[in-house]
Amino acid sequence: METRNTSDFTKLKKNLIPLVLFDCVCADIQASKMLVNNCEITSDAVKLLNQRGYQKISHITVPGHLNVFREKQRGYEHGIAAHKLSYDKCFFINKAFSIYEGILATGNICKTILAKIIFRESC
């Protein structure tokens, strides 16, 4: 998920080893690619959550050097806009994505929501 170096794939291709990329694809590698529509899936998830009454829907992601993350972010933004929900860009993880970083991001979301509630109640 972190790598930007495609040299291992290039070695496989040079040694005539068949290569099929699933979902995470490298634009500079000529290979068969199997993709899902991450944009549509994420937009549909926002729609479903909204239909179930959720209005504060967060998306934790990393900067989009991989197609998967870019497409999911685009789908999230589309879903948020389509349902006129609020969008907060502060939930990007700019480090290696790990369980620990996910827990920290979730904690930050909770702190942000709690701070907004406390601020609103104190006014």
User: CATH homologous superfamily for 38-122?
Assistant: Response regulator (3.40.50.2300)
Amino acid identity at 102:
G
Q: What does the domain layout of the chain look like in residue ranges?
A: 1-35, 38-122
Burial class (CB in 10 A: 0-12, 13-18, 19+), 73: buried
Residue 120 confidence (pLDDT) above 50:
no
Average pLDDT value for the chain: 79
Residue 8: what pLDDT?
79
**Highest mean predicted confidence (pLDDT) among 24-38, 87-101, 104-118:** 24-38
Residue 104 confidence (pLDDT) above 80:
yes
pTM, 2 dp: 0.69
